[in-house]
Structure 1
């Protein structure tokens, strides 16, 4: 069987279908991830008390490039680890271990939002917040089904009446036209009201920051929303036209969420342990930012 990485290099046009990135983007990320891994290893080696000789132990079956490709392949296609191991010619356990090894490295490499990227580089929250006030930021949320919690009380907390399933809720803030993910909240309870999440998220922004959302955000401060139809009455033509304009401008945040859901691990029932949910979704947010050109190295 041909290794998926070799297949992608032989047929670059299928790269987006298989891993959600173009071949040049994949090669660039592989290079950056390998460099980040070397940094982590060097930092660990400096504090390690060595017992065995360096380089001892079983030799690896896969190159680092193939290991990173395995991680991207899982995020995009979400096969069971048995199938993933067969595709990359490793055991199910090794496939699982490799995925969880590279996931935190990618998390360090890929800032999930513009706020996180700027805060890591500029380290001046007030300056960052002031820059964003010239925009009306778009906001929307999405739910994702999760495994039914085993704890007796947990199912009640995560059961969504809207979806009739146990779900996580994620909320995304984007620039106009969906040019970048500005901020994200991940792994909240499915029944949590969108407007309550926005009120929490507004703490990350200036008090003069304006937002634009759908009817779920009616009542939030500094937030433009469509008008609801009054009971037993109709909206006026002006109100309908205003709602239409709002919908046309905020549809781009839904397009951004669609890009996130291209990665099946973010769209279908989340099968991994719930404690890894936040890390997985934030990595995907970083991948989407890199895919659309908002994140550069």
Structure 2
């Protein structure tokens, strides 16, 4: 059976369907990730109490490109680790270890949003916040199903009456036309009100920043929402037209969420340990930014 890595080498145009990013983006990501991998290995080497000479021990069964391919394939398709191991010719345990090793490295090098990309550079962050006031940012939320928590009080916190299941809610703020992910909030209990999440997220922006959202954000400051039909009343034609115009602008953040959900790990019932949920979804957002071309890997790190 041909492996997934060999398949995309033979048919590079299929990489986007299998891994979520194009073949060129995949090769650039591998070259960039190698640097972080070598740094991690150097740290481990310094901590070792060496008994055997350097270069001894069991050889890696998968090359670095194959390991990164395995990680991306899981995020995109979420097979079981046993099936994943079969597809890459390794054991279930090794496929699990390989995925978790590389998802940590990829998370470090792929910022999930523009705010995260510049947040450690105070001067850049202030400039970005000021520039963003020239745009009306789009905001929307999405719920993802999770396993029912075993603790009774905990499960009540995550039960979503809207979805009739236990969920986690994430919220995305994007540029107009969905051109980039500006900020993302992840890991809130499903029943949390959208407007509550928005008010917390709003503190990351300039006080003059304006937003556009759906009816769930009515009552928020500096946010435009559709007209809501009052009880026993109908919207007039002007209100209907304004709602239609607003919807045509807001639809782009929903398109962006659709791209996030292309990675099945951020769409289907979350099967991994709950402790890694936030990190996984933020990694997916970073991959989406790479996919749509708003985050470009530094040339200096690409061989």
TM-score normalised per structure 1: 0.97
TM-score, normalised with respect to structure 2: 0.95
1:49 CA displacement = 4.5
> Residue 20 of structure 1 corresponds to which residue in structure 2?
20
Pairwise mapping of residues 1-297 of structure 1 onto structure 2 (< 5 A)?
1-46=1-46, 48-53=47-52, 54-121=54-121, 123-297=123-297
Task: Using the TM superposition, give the Cα deviation of residue 121 of structure 1 relative to its aligned residue in structure 2, in angstroms.
Answer: 4.9
1:83 Cα shift?
0.3
Distance 1:96 1:188, change over 3 A: same
Residue 128 of structure 1 and its aligned partner are, at CA, apart by 2.3
Q: Deviations over 1:147-174 (max 9, x none)?
A: 1112232100100000000000000000
Kindly tell me: are residues 49 and 6 of structure 1, through their superposed partners in 2, closer, same or farther at Cα, counting changes over 3 Å?
Answer: closer
- For 2:300, the equivalent position in structure 1 comes to none
Supply the distance in 2 between the matched residues of 1:212 and 1:161 (Cα, whole angstroms). Answer: 25
> Deviation string for 1:153-203 (max 9, x for gaps)?
210010000000000000000000000000000111000000000000001
- In the alignment, the residues of structure 2 paired with residue 93 and residue 188 of structure 1 have an alpha-carbon distance, to the nearest angstrom, of 30
CA positional deviation for 1:124: 4.2
Structure 1 position 3, deviation (Å): 1.8
3-state SS of paired residue (1:153): helix
Distance (Å, rounded) in 2 between the aligned partners of 1:87 and 1:44: 29
| Inter-CA distance 127–12: structure 2 relative to 1 (3 Å threshold) | same
Partners in 1 of 2:29 and 2:98 — Cα distance? 16
1:55-110 per-residue CA deviation (whole Å, 9 max, x = no partner) reads 33322111111011000000000000110000000000110010000011000010
Deviation at 1:37, TM superposition (A): 0.9
Q: How many residues align?
A: 296
Q: CA deviation at 1:122?
A: 5.8
Structure 1 portions without partners, runs of 5+: none
Structure-2 separation of matches of 1:143 and 1:56? 48
Deviations 1:249-283 (A, max 9, x none): 11000000000000111111000011111111001
CA-based RMSD: 1.2
- The Cα of 1:50 is off from its aligned counterpart by 2.3
Q: Deviations over 1:122-164 (max 9, x none)?
A: 6543322112111100000000000111223210010000000
Superposed CA deviations along residues 227-255 of structure 1, whole A, max 9, x for unmatched, are 10011011111111111111101100000
Helix, strand or coil for the counterpart of 2:119?
helix
Q: Comparing 50-59 with 111-120, which one deviates more in the overlay?
A: 50-59
Structure-2 change in CA distance of 1:123 and 1:6 (3 Å): farther
CA–CA distance in structure 1, aligned partners of residues 245 and 192 of structure 2: 28
Once residues 121 and 183 of structure 1 are traced to their aligned partners in structure 2, the CA distance between those partners, rounded to angstroms, is: 16
